[in-house]
Structures are given as structure tokens and as C-alpha cells.
Amino acid sequence: MSAPDTADRVLLVAAVVVILVAGVLLLYRIWRGPSMLDRAISLDVLAALIIAGLGAKSAVERDPFYFPIMLVLAFLGFTGSVGIARFIAVRDRPPARHAPDRPTGGPAAEEGPR
């Protein structure tokens, strides 16, 4: 009874560590992301990772305490991404296309709006 429980605990702790590593890498993408759309997609993935991490915690403790939080994140986690895609991404168009790629200033013919 003891050895399979130890195997379960090792598997679940490894899952939590993998999700935490994925979250740290995703925070680097959010910090780095060239445009607001990259950050919006990354925040969507971050909501999915938070749901997965809460699920792994619930699987370790056999406790359904965090299930309502996972449910709310599952159907409200996409609203920020939709708002950025509909309203903010139109507004930051010139710095999103030119400033991160060519920080020293590109050719002047491309700087005008399309």
C-alpha cells in the first residue's frame, strides 16, 4: 500500500513542477512578447495553466475545494484576450509592427500607415 502511494505522489509532484516550469517560461513570453496580441494569447494559455495547476493540486490532496475557481477561470479566462483582440490591438499597430523588430529605425518608406 505504501509503495504505490509513493509512486503516485512522485508522479503528481513531477506534474506540479512541470506546470510551474511552463508558467515561468510563459511569463518570459508575456514580458518579451512583441505585440499585445502575443500577450493576449499568452494570458489565455496562462489561464489554462492555472486551471491545470489547481487540478494537479486537487489530485494531490483529493479535495474538490478549488473546482469552482477552475470553472470560473474556464469560462471567464478568455474575456481579456477577446477584449485585447477587439479593442486594443487596433490602437497599438505602428509600434507593434515596427518598433520591436527594428529598434534603430527602419526604412522611412515603410513608416507610413497602410
Partner 1 sequence: MTVWVQITDTLGAALVLFGAAICLLGVVGMLLLPDVLSRSHAATKPQTLGLLLVLAGVALRLRSGMDLATLALIGFFQLMTGPVASHLSARSAYRTGQIEHGELLVDDLDKQLTERAPDPAPDRGPGAGQD
| Choice between 64 and 105, CB closer to partner 1 | 64
Closest contact distance (angstroms) between CB of 73 and partner 1 is 8
CB contact at 8 A, 34 and 89: no
CB contact at 8 A, 61 and 1: no
| Region class of 48: left (phi > 0), else alpha (psi between -120 and 50), else beta | alpha
Note whether 96 binds partner 1 by CB under 8 A: yes
Note whether 102 binds partner 1 by CB under 8 A: no
Contacts of residue 51, defined as CB under 8 A and 6 or more positions apart, other chains included, come to: 70, 73, 74, 77
* Contact footprint for partner 1 (CB under 8 A): 1, 4, 7-8, 11-12, 14-16, 18-19, 21-23, 25-26, 28-29, 35, 37-38, 40-42, 44-45, 48-49, 51-52, 55-56, 58-59, 62, 64, 67-68, 70-71, 74-75, 77-78, 81-82, 84-86, 89-90, 93, 96-97, 114
